[in-house]
């Protein structure tokens, strides 16, 4: 999943893509549901039930990300964060592990630095702005274009 986008344009694009995907999966769920309740061979009902379950799990996971990114887009807050080390982001490659504090609670996240060149990021010890939302403070995204000079 693309969990590491930061800019408004990236978040908006991601929301549109996830919205379309949610609609397509919902159609698949309805289609498989009707295939399950129709009369027919038990083997086909089992196959459709498996697809129904997989699509149902998928829609829940995608909707969760849709809500997180919607919150980041509509009501962003910013706080300073500090880079710790390099990390791996699932399906996206190398990223940067960072930590930040919101309301006395410290959070650690890992996100990619694309399109910022990796050699322009101080790791460890770089200080950048982190975008977060009050609804999901643990899902912050470091913005490597907003460096804080100390």
- pTM for the structure as a whole: 0.75
CA dihedral 15, 20, 54, 58 (to 10 degrees): 10
pLDDT tens digit sequence for 87-125: 887 767 788 899 999 999 999 998 887 777 777 788 888
pLDDT tens digit sequence for 9-41: 778 888 899 999 999 999 999 999 998 888 788
Q: Is the pLDDT at 147 greater than 90, yes or no?
A: no
The CA distance from 52 to 57, in Å, is: 9
Which residue, 144, 71, 132, 141, is CA-closest to 102?
132
Q: What is the pLDDT of residue 79?
A: 92
């Amino acid at each position: 999943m693309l969990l590491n986008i930061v800019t408004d344009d990236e978040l908006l694009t991601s929301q549109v893509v996830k919205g379309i995907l949610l609609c397509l999966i919902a159609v698949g769920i309805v289609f498989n549901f009707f295939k399950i309740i129709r009369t027919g061979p038990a083997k086909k009902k089992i196959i459709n039930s498996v697809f129904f379950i997989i699509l149902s799990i998928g829609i829940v996971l995608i909707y969760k990300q849709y809500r997180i990114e919607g919150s980041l887009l509509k009501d962003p807050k910013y706080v300073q964060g500090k880079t710790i080390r390099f990390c791996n982001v699932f399906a996206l490659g190398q990223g940067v592990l960072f930590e930040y504090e919101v309301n006395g609670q410290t959070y650690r996240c890992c996100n990619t630095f694309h399109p910022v060149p990796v050699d322009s990021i101080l790791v460890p010890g770089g200080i950048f702005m982190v975008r977060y939302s009050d609804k999901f403070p643990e899902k912050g995204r470091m913005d490597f274009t907003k460096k804080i000079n100390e």
